[in-house]
Amino acid sequence: MTRASKQPNTSSPGFQFDAVVIGTGPGGEGAAMQLSKAGKQVAVIERHESVGGGCTHWGTIPSKALRHSVSRLIEYNANPLFNDGDRSRHLTFSEILKHASAVIRKQSRLRGSFYDRNGVRIFHGEASFIDAHTIRITREDGSIDQLTTNQVILATGSRPYTPKDIDFSHPRIYNSDSILSLKHDPKSVIIYGAGVIGSEYASIFRGMGVKVDLVNMRDRLLSFLDAEISDALSYHLWNNGVMIRHNEMYQAVEGRDDCVILHLESGKKMRADCLLFANGRTGNTDMLNLSAIGLKADSRGQLKVDDNYRTEVDNIYAVGDVIGYPSLASAAYNQGRFAAQAMLSGQCPTSLVEDIPTGIYTIPEISSVGKTEQELTAQKVPYEVGRAQFMHLARAQIANTQVGSLKILFHRDSKKILGIHCFGERASEIVHIGQAIMQQDGDANNIEYFVNTTFNYPTMAEAYRVAAINGLNRIF
């Protein structure tokens, strides 16, 4: 059954909508809101029942809510005010997930209200192209909508990479989406893939007292990080009992009724109650019928775009995970806004900042912005390092969050801030103080700002003053 949707006339003659956005994650939301506020008739298409995309339902929000709950559980069990030490509190994965589910519902309702308030029409179903201006929407009941539009923006996100030789329908084999449906209480887990997602879940499961084997295909964890920060994460995972195996590749995954056995190319075998496969992601482009418009995604399901986020088809734009780097929810929202500006005016007047902050929600957290020591050394930049250990900060002592440190990299001569790296509780918040100064022009970007500014006491922000003094003391 096909039915044409009746819509009011718009400023794009002959089309039902000025723009159709496919996907309601951060990128799609940013684009839809920007276009709607400019007076355009906008529709969004979402394949699932609720808006928010993978960020809200399977990725960023649930994993961070899980991490927060596990962190509080660790604090409770370690705090003599609440625990006399005789018996630790134990919660199952499904019990902890209840908090995450509540957050997801709140976020989805909130995001849905944005579309209602701005007059953006929401269609639910699977989108595919008939031609560059016509989109078919196939609903779950088999009915079909057909929309015409002047412009299209693809914000379809990504999904976990799932090799065909692994049976992900097995009740003990999971990817980073399906792990949220874990019902039993595992005593051991193998995590294959030690990237951001794998490292985060290794922290979560170990914090729950689960035996964790983390299999890494490279020779160090998160090699894009500053080496000291990567080493700190490796040490704390190891110190907490995570078994990390570097430079290993899987040969086969054997799912049994009572366990999973991972066969490695090196000849090793590993056994656990369940396996989480977290090795890469694939862009959600395979269902779009891109061949109908002359577009082709690469082997990772990603599309090429120009500086204005325009694909090789003039009226079709793409943002977020489907275009690759940086594949961050925070960046995707801005990409959506920038693409909308290009759709409105012909070109994008702004772009993402050069130094994009990263937040990695392991336990403890990691966050950084700017250059690493290794990059500056390779570029022969004369830099110096300022450090502050959290154990020396009164606020950290009060909160008993003394693990971690702040590191500021700055130019020896100009004192310009070149990089900020933080490891410890609330790192993803702390890093933005330094980012704000680092983004200033000219002499305003200077490490001496932190020495001459008065910080509230006691705060974690005080780490900047301590690190700045430490670094400037090294200058001679």
Indicate the annotated binding residues for NAD(+). Answer: 193-200, 280
Determine which helix (DSSP H) or strand (DSSP E) holds 189, and give its type and residue range.
strand 188-192
The amino acid present at 95, given as its one-letter code, is E
Q: Give binding residues for FAD as ranges.
A: 46-55, 64, 156-158, 321
| Helices 26-37, 329-345: inter-axial angle, 10-degree rounding | 30
Please state the separation of Cα 32 from the chain's center in Å: 21
Instruction: Give me the helices (H) in 208-357, please.
Output: 227-239, 329-345
Q: Are the C-beta atoms of residues 398 and 458 closer than 8 Å to each other?
A: yes
Q: Are 224 and 368 in contact (CB under 8 A)?
A: no
145, 137 Cβ separation under 8 angstroms: yes
- Which pair of tokens denotes residue 461? 């922000």
Q: In sequence order, what are the residues at sequence separation of 6 or more whose Cβ sits closer than 8 angstroms to the Cβ of residue 90?
A: 208, 209
Alpha helices in 346-444 (DSSP H): 373-378, 394-399, 427-438
Q: How far apart are CA 338 and CA 216, in angstroms?
A: 36
For residue 64, give the nearest of 423, 359, 400, 404 by alpha carbon. 359
Greatest Cα pair distance, the chain, in angstroms, is 78
| Binding site, annotated residues | 46-55, 64, 156-158, 193-200, 280, 321
Residue 310 CB: number of other CB atoms within 10 A?
A: 22
Burial zone of 383 (CB within 10 Å; 0-12 exposed, 13-18 middle, 19+ buried): buried
